[in-house]
Structure 1
Amino acid sequence: MMNSAWGHIIILLLITTSPIIAQEESDPQWSMRGYLSNMLTTDFSGDDITFDNQLHNRLNFQWFPKDNFTFYLDIRTRLLAGNTVKNFPGLGDLLDFNNDYLDMSIHFPKNKSWLVHSMIDRAYMEWYKGDWEIRLGRQRINWGINTIWNPNDLFNAYSYFDFDYVERPGSDALRLTWYTCTNSSVEFASNFRDNFDELTFATLYKSSLGSYDVQLLGAKAGNDIVLGTGWAGNLGNAGFKGEFSYFIPTKDNGPKDALLATIAFDYAFKNSLYLNLSVLFNSDGSSDSQNNPLLLATSGLLTTRYLSPYEWSTFL
Structure 2
Amino acid sequence: MEMFWFNNGEVQTMSTLSNRLDFEAFIGYSFTAQLSMRNILNFGEMPKLYYPFIADAAITDQGRMDMTYSLASDSSYFAYSQFDRAFIKYTEGNLEISVGRQRINWGINMVWTPNDIFNSFNYLDFDYAERAGSDAALIQYYTGPASSIQFAYKLDHLNRATYALMYKFNTLNYDFQIMSGKLDRDLVIGGGWSGQIGSAGFLGEFTYFHSPKDHISDFHSLVASVSLNYTFKNNVFTQTSILYNSAGTNENAGRGNFMASNRPVSAKDYTLAKWALFGQISFPLSPLISADFSGIFNPGDNSSYLGPSFNFSVAENFDLMFVGQFFMGSNGSEYGDYGTMLFTRLRWSF
TM-score of the superposed pair, with normalisation by structure 2: 0.75
Deviations 1:35-82 (Å, cap 9, x if unpaired)?
xxxx22222332112222222200001111212111111001111122
- State the alpha-carbon separation in 1 of the partners of residues 86 and 78 from structure 2: 24
Q: How does 1:1-316 map to 2 (within 5 A)?
A: 39-89=1-51, 90-192=53-155, 198-250=160-212, 251-254=214-217, 256-289=219-252, 291-292=254-255, 295-300=259-264, 302-316=265-279
The 8 Å contact of residues 215 and 231 in structure 1, kept in 2 or not, is answered as: yes
The 8 Å contact of residues 253 and 273 in structure 2, kept in 1 or not, is answered as: no
The 8 Å contact of residues 265 and 276 in structure 1, kept in 2 or not, is answered as: yes
Aligned length: 276
**CA 1:142–1:195 in structure 2 vs 1: closer, same or farther (change >3 Å)?**
same
- State the alpha-carbon separation in 1 of the partners of residues 162 and 137 from structure 2: 11
- The alpha carbon displacement at 1:83 in A equals 2.7
- State the alpha-carbon separation in 2 of the partners of residues 188 and 273 from structure 1: 38
- State the alpha-carbon separation in 1 of the partners of residues 168 and 28 from structure 2: 29
Flag structure 2 segments of 5+ consecutive residues without an equivalent. Answer: 280-350
Deviations 1:162-194 (Å, cap 9, x if unpaired)?
111011000000100000111100000001359
Flag structure 1 segments of 5+ consecutive residues without an equivalent. Answer: 1-38
Counterpart residue number, 1:31: none
- The alpha carbon displacement at 1:98 in A equals 4.2
**Counterpart of 1:168 in structure 2: which amino acid?**
R
**Equivalent position SS for 1:272:** coil
The 8 Å contact of residues 242 and 261 in structure 1, kept in 2 or not, is answered as: yes
**Equivalent position SS for 2:59:** helix
**Equivalent position SS for 1:159:** coil
**CA 1:246–1:61 in structure 2 vs 1: closer, same or farther (change >3 Å)?**
same
TM-score of the superposed pair, with normalisation by structure 1: 0.82
The 8 Å contact of residues 240 and 265 in structure 1, kept in 2 or not, is answered as: yes
**Counterpart of 1:308 in structure 2: which amino acid?**
T
Q: Which has the higher helix share?
A: 1
Question: What percent identity do the matched residue pairs reach?
Answer: 34
